[in-house]
Chains A and B, each alone.
Chain A
Amino acid sequence: MRAVEIRNLHYTYPDGTRALRGVNLEVEEGESVFLMGPNGSGKSTLLLHLNGLLLPQRGRVRVFGLDPRNGVGEIRRRVGLVFQDPDDQLFMPTVFEDVAFGPLHLGLEEGEVRRRVRKALGEVGMRGFEKRSPQHLSYGERKRVAIATVLSMDPQLLVLDEPTLGLDPWVRGRLLSLLRRLRRGRTLLMAGHDGELMELCDRAYLLRRGRVEREIDPSAWREEIEIGGRGRGYR
């Protein structure tokens, strides 16, 4: 089954910004896809549609065959969305409560919630931090906990918005190998402009000015940035 199918999607913000102008995108189950795009190209707006947080104004969105206009509960159960800023993602006073938030609101019973939290924190290498407050964690640690908060919901599709943004090369390296592990057995959709991040995906698309402009070769990110630097294909 297709994990994501987007046809001619348009979205305009209330202030008149036309963020999406006819996006077409397909993601097969089990593959990892990268959306390469400069700042302001509509990446984040597009990702919000995958979780039913924004509903299509024009065009159609199907997530695992489900239409978000017919209810978003099941979609949110299957899609884990990790926001760009971990301080938006981590809103509870302790790491444990934050990672437990998703499973609790799925209506799981407490023993299962505890098990899920343990597993998710183990996956991102943050076990032992349960009682800490997010404000007392480093940026890289917060990024990893932010990923754990959706892993605990056991999503089929993991969507990450600029997961490596603002990380130093050492922390970034650890996050990349974490993502490499996470893609096994899951569908992964990531957005950003980190070449090495793109390299670990099966396919990549160039998003520009609210449209998917073309498919690009994930391993050829150096050339793409080169082209962009000369003003072709990028803004």
Chain B
Amino acid sequence: MKHHFLDQYSDRASCLHSLDPRVKILAFLSLVVVVVLTPLTHPHRFLLYALLLVALVLLSRVPPGFLLRRSAVVLPFVGLVAAGLPFLGGSGGSYNLGPFHVTRSALLIFVNVLLKAWFSVMAMGLLVSTTPFTRLLRGFQSLGLPALFTTLLSFMYRYLYLLTDEFERMAMARDSRAWRMGRLERMRITGNMVGAAFLRSYERGERVYLAMRARGFDGRIRVMRELRMGRSDALFLSLFFPLLLSAAVI
């Protein structure tokens, strides 16, 4: 079975895909930082950021609909902020929204949170959709993230699929033998399955550790540095950062 819930579209070919992961990490993280630090008193800047994002999306050839759907993960959080709005005070007049009164400054806070969260998630979604997970990890590693951390993440990436496969097989085995089941019974059995999945992955972990030691692992993780920046990376950097910075100061 193939799963692609982490880095779908990351194996496509576009000029954004072919960039060095470090370049993309730096670029997209700076975009997030700049967006978050921009005060809402300059709304036109957000328009420029949006244009920059749109340009990047077009360059990446990742379907915009996919990125938009994925960026919907911010909605619950923004919704949480929205739920608190009527209780915020502040000046600048207020609006009547049904039974609630919302002040202008509270509304500004809401727009602020919505735009910043949404732009950031779009930027990160674009990063993940244009960089295979393994290259992303290698990028983070050569930018200084400890090898222990990246190795743990790479194990997660490797075995998450196996674990979901295993769980799906167990669910199939359950459904093939018990297709009429009360909700309580179903929950009980699912609980057992979670326990079994835990035990299996624990045992898998033990065997993987043996396999690592058999090949000379002694507790110190060694990795290869095999990223190389090219001319297109330099070109991208020399276009992206001036654009981002000018958008941030205009």
Cβ-based interface call for A101 (8 A): yes
A94–B134 touching, CB < 8 Å? yes
B216–A89 touching, CB < 8 Å? no
- State whether A88 and B158 are in contact (beta carbons under 8 Å apart), knowing that A100-B224, A113-B224 are contacts in the complex: no
Interface size class of A (residues with CB under 8 A): 20 to 34
Residue positions of B touching A, CB distance < 8 A: 2-3, 133-134, 137, 154-155, 157-159, 161-162, 204, 207-208, 210-218, 222-226
- State whether A105 and B210 are in contact (beta carbons under 8 Å apart), knowing that A87-B162, A91-B158, A135-B158 are contacts in the complex: no
- State whether A93 and B134 are in contact (beta carbons under 8 Å apart), knowing that A83-B207, A88-B204, A105-B222 are contacts in the complex: yes
B161, B214, B224: residue with the most chain A Cβ atoms closer than 10 Å: B214
Is the contact region of chain B dominated by helix, strand, or loop, or is it mixed?
helix
Cβ-based interface call for A224 (8 A): no
* Distance (whole angstroms) from the CB of A90 to the closest CB of chain B: 8
Cβ-based interface call for A8 (8 A): no
A83: chain B residues within 8 A (beta carbon): 207, 210-211, 214
A92–B215 touching, CB < 8 Å? no
B214: chain A residues within 8 A (beta carbon): 51, 53, 76, 81, 83, 150
Cβ-based interface call for A133 (8 A): yes
Residue positions of A touching B, CB distance < 8 A: 48, 51, 53, 73, 76-77, 81, 83, 85, 87-94, 97, 100-102, 104-107, 110, 113, 133-136, 149-150, 153
Is the contact region of chain A dominated by helix, strand, or loop, or is it mixed?
helix
A51, A107, A133: residue with the most chain B Cβ atoms closer than 10 Å: A133
A48: chain B residues within 8 A (beta carbon): 210
A93–B210 touching, CB < 8 Å? no
- State whether A104 and B213 are in contact (beta carbons under 8 Å apart), knowing that A83-B207, A91-B155 are contacts in the complex: no
A76: chain B residues within 8 A (beta carbon): 213-216
22 cross-chain CB contacts under 8 A: A51-B214, A76-B214, A76-B216, A83-B207, A83-B211, A83-B214, A88-B208, A88-B211, A90-B158, A91-B159, A91-B212, A93-B137, A93-B157, A97-B224, A101-B217, A105-B222, A110-B224, A110-B226, A113-B224, A133-B134, A135-B162, A136-B2
State A14–B155 Cα separation when bound (angstroms): 28
A104: chain B residues within 8 A (beta carbon): 222-224
State A134–B134 Cα separation when bound (angstroms): 12
A105–B216 touching, CB < 8 Å? yes
A101: chain B residues within 8 A (beta carbon): 212, 215, 217
B211–A89 touching, CB < 8 Å? yes
B157: chain A residues within 8 A (beta carbon): 93
